[in-house]
Each structure stands twice: as C-alpha cells, then as structure tokens.
Structure 1
Amino acid sequence: MMMTSPSSSCSPDDRMICQSHDFQTMMQIFYLRLAYTTCSYACSPVELYGYVAVRDLLNPMRNYIFNRPRGDPFVVGHDGIIKMTGPKRGIRMEAHVLIEFDLKIIKKGGGEAEDDLQLIDCVASFSHRTSRHATANRRRIDGDCGAVDIMYALLDGAAEATVQVGISDLASLSQDNNGLRLRAAAFYTKQLSGQFDLFDGIVAAEASELSKTVVAVVKESHLLVALILSQTGGGTDRPIVQNCCTFPVQKHGNRVSVFKFGLATVEVKVTWSTLDIPQSRLGPNCFESEHMAAEGVEYDGD
C-alpha cells in the first residue's frame, strides 16, 4: 500500500483520476494445489510445511505466498488445495518473475525434521512474454516426491487491491448456538474469471480484523466482495443473510463498506495502490540488489 495516498504530483484530470502514475503489468496467483505425491511414507492426510515465495522486478526480497513452520503444518484436503498466506504486496510482472519452492512433507509417525520428505526444492521462472493478458495459466512444478500446480494470470494494466475484512460489532448468541460463521470471497467482474477466498471460519466475540488479502485488479473493472453469515450449532450451519458490494478499480485511495447483519457488523475495506513506485521510495540499494540477484550473486537479506 505504498502508493495509496495521492501525492502533489498526481495531476488529476477533470474526473479526479491521477494522470502521473500508471497501472502496471501484474501477476495474480489464484491457487496452489498438491497434484500428487509419490512417496508411500507420507502422512495421510498430507501434512505440508515450508514456503513458496515470489521475487519480482519491483523488489528482490521474498514475497511469501505460502509460509508454514513444521510445528504448524498445513493439512492438505481431498481437493489438494494449499491455502495461501500471501502475497503481502502486489507482484509486478514487467519482467521475469521467480518463484522459490521449498516444501516438505512430514513423514508417517512424526519423527524428527531430518526424516521429513522433500516435496519440492527449486526455483521456477515465469515469463511476461509467454503469458497472455487476462488468461488463466496452469503450470506444474515437479519435485523429488511429487508435484504442485500453480494457477496464475498476467494482468496488463492493473492495480494492487488490499482487501481487509473485519468484525466491528458482534451480538451475544443463545446457548443453542456455538457461534457465527462468516464466509467472504472476492470475484472479478470483467475480462477474467477468478475467485479469492478472503475468510471462512467462526468469528470471535470481540471486534477484530479477520483477514487481509492482496489481489491484482485490471483497470476499468470492479472487484466484487460477497459475504455469507450463518449460525453454527447442532452440527449444521444455518444461513442467516448474505450480501455483496462492488469496488471500482482505482490507482489511489480506499473505500469502506459496512454490512449490518443484525447479529454482527462486518466491515470490508479495499485499499488501492499503483505499483508505479519511484525508485527513491524503495531505497537506494533496491535495484542494485535486484541486478545482483538476477546475475546469481549472493546478497544479504530475505
């Protein structure tokens, strides 16, 4: 969200749209999926840990899209989907993007970390020249004892949207109900079909931020956020109400939508930022480190 606040150099036109900063070519990662495993020694269901991180032209440091320690592994379900924990910022794709994979599987019976199975340990390059605009691409990354599929798209002319979902007010429930379950998802409304799960779980009794998700949204389109609130109890979820709102893409600024569901008040905030960031705001050594990384030279930091 580095470029959220308009600057004095934005030069807005008659529609108050910034003319100084441009939309950028960005990469959107939709999901990671465990395609298969070849080792019979893996836990069932598979317990996965490690990291997947992106390095782009904007900043050579790791931008994690999955990062779980061995003490808190992700349990892969029947669909194979690996729940992403990022990215924490938008991914610029005006040059090759590198994605690092270091994923391990806990061996049956637990044991020590040195006994775990190396699923994937590699770096994959994704080219902006071979990816078509607003087209979903699936690529399989093969490893030592299995493979992971990554679904992604290149968006030519997009903004970074940081979507925050939070609870600002929650009513007390009867003893027959265990709590309230909130499901929140975002969707594209133009050019490309895509869904992003923002939150799916039981909401706490106190006001809190439930999730923060960064997505890329192409210019002249909207991001639609849908919410479903249900009561839990008796082994089933009983839907109470659902609602949605749309957020038109912007280069700067933010917008908050408030949903009063009776038993809960849900706030959705979308903060917009262009990745047209001046070098001076990234620091004097950022692009030097980036060049060194591209040339295979070691440098300090993650």
Structure 2
Amino acid sequence: MEAMMLSNPTDCWPHMWACKAHSVQFMMQIFSLKLSNITAVVDGPVHLYGYFAVQDHLDPLRNYIFNRTRDDPFIMGQDNGVNSDNSLIPMSGPKRGIGNQARVLIEFDMKIKNGETQDDDFQLIDGAIICSEFSLPDRVFTQRIEGDCGAVDISRAILHGAVEATIEVSISQVHGNGFSLSLYSYISQIPEKIQLFDGVISKPCDLNRFVVAVVLNTPLILAFKVDQRDGSNHVCAYCPFKAPMFSTYLSFLLVV
C-alpha cells in the first residue's frame, strides 16, 4: 500500500470543497521493535527475516511494520548486543495509520537464517495477539513476545483524539562521499522516539514516506542527525510541526 491512505481522507466537514476539519479517532502508534533475547546458538551476525503486521477495522489486509524475505534479511552485527539500542529492528511501516476504534490484530512470523535451507532456520516468533486496551492513553508501554528461540519487544501507545501525519524527506544535494543520516520523530509530547531511518546517503534521493499518529493540536517533532562520512561535520536539526484540524502532509527538503 502507498502511504497517505488516511492523509487524504473523504470525511471532510462541512464538505470537501470547503474543508474545515476531519474527525479524530483512537489510533495505535508502534514506537519500536526490539530483539530482546536469543536462546539459539547463532554463529556470527543475526540474519532476521519474516514479517510483523497489523490488521484493524479499516482494512483486513496486512499493514506491514517489518517485512523481509530470506534473500534480503536484516543483518544485525555481532556488536549489536541484545537489549542495547543497536538491537532495534528497523520498521518499514506502517503504510497507513492504525485505527484503534476496535480490536487490532498483530500477526508475526519472524525467523533467524541459519544454514543453506529454510528448514535449518530458527523460528524466532510466530503467532498473533489481539490488542483491545484503551487504558493508559498517550503513554508508551512495552510487551514482550516470547518465541521458540528468543523474544521480541514491541513498544506501542494508544492515542486518543489522533490524526495521521505523513512525512516525506527529499535529499536534494550530496557533497563528497555522502553522509550518515539518522531520522526520528517525537509525537504528542511523548518522550520516547520513533526511529524512521538510519543509514548512509550517497546520492540525492527521496526517502520512503513515513506515517505516524499524532494527537490533535499537539506537536510532531522531526529530528535529524547528520554525520559526514569523513568525520568533518556533525549536524543536528529539530523541526516542529503541529497537528491541526485539517489534513496535513509534511514535506521536508534536506540539504547537506
């Protein structure tokens, strides 16, 4: 699915030709997935693949949070120790906001690559959980999902009166050998951050669109950390936005 499924809504009030507001709703925001434990003996870096997805009342199809094939796993180096910040599993989604007006199904099947065939691989977690809590609003809580050879921690929050924001970042110019970029966001005055991107930029490009849920009339802060690959420069930038009553699309141009 393409991002902005909810950022271009049809519930305009009073009507689409003179839009003044959109309805808010309960929304779920996933802040992080983290490899918290491995019980299997893994020789070398961890090659993680499979999927982690949600389904809500808006759409019965899977809304992927993590989705990697066996031929393209996420590789977690030996220095990325479990229970450290480096044990975070990169999230490629969601592609649209997660509605939480009713129960949300979280489905997962994640494996650790081991050997030549899939039969040799370790099953990290496999199954599903149903989330229907409406307590602890606007506060992050962590749930551990235990599996056959390890565990994954999911940190999420239920946001009351929330809207969807779609973020797009364009890299317009790249000088020298490129730079390392870490992009994350803070939402709704919650101190925990949402990691959006962490990697190396070597040429001008558009990053994937990112979707987050924000409580109405609260801030959305984008944080950029940039390091030149030759170590000559280090830049931190913070860009605040506010979630208004009308539909919002954030487009940011980064020049380094």
Range class of TM-score, shorter chain: 0.7 to 0.9
User: Which residue, out of 159, 166, 172, partners 2:163?
Assistant: 159
Counterpart mapping for 1:1-302 below 5 A? 1-5=4-8, 9-11=12-14, 17-18=20-21, 21-40=22-41, 42-76=42-76, 77-78=80-81, 79=84, 80-107=87-114, 110-129=115-134, 131-170=135-174, 172-173=175-176, 178-188=177-187, 190=189, 192-205=190-203, 207-233=204-230, 237-250=231-244, 251-259=246-254, 261=255, 264=256
Large movers: runs of 4+ above 4 Å: 5-9
SS at the partner of 1:89?
coil
Maintained 8 Å contact 1:57/1:92: yes
Q: CA–CA distance in 2 between the matches of 1:24 and 1:139?
A: 23
SS at match of 2:235: strand
Mark the runs of 5 or more structure 2 residues left unpaired by the alignment. Answer: none
Counterpart in the other structure of 1:289: none
Identity %: 41
Query: Normalized against structure 1, the TM-score is what?
Result: 0.73
Larger radius of gyration: 1
- Matching residue's letter, 1:48: L
Deviations 1:163-194 (A, max 9, x none): 11111233x43xxxx3223332211252x222
Would you say the 8 A contact 1:95–1:128 is kept in 2?
no
Deviation at 1:217, TM superposition (A): 0.7
Q: What is the RMSD of the two structures over their aligned residues, measured on CA atoms?
A: 2.2
Show CA shifts across 1:253-293 (max 9, x none).
Answer: 3244445x5xx3xxxxxxxxxxxxxxxxxxxxxxxxxxxxx
Alignment gaps of 5+ in structure 1: 265-302
Q: Quick one: which amino acid aligns to residue 200 of structure 2?
A: I
Cα shift readout 1:213-244 (whole Å, capped 9, x = no counterpart) = 111111110111122333212xxx33343322
Letter matched to residue 35 of structure 1: S
TM superposition score normalised by structure 2:
0.85
Q: Does the Cα contact within 8 Å between 1:187 and 1:195 map onto a contact in 2? A: yes
Contact conserved, 1:245 with 1:257, CA < 8 A, in 2?
no
Cα deviation, residue 120, structure 1:
1.3
**1:93 and 1:128 in contact (8 A); partners too:** no
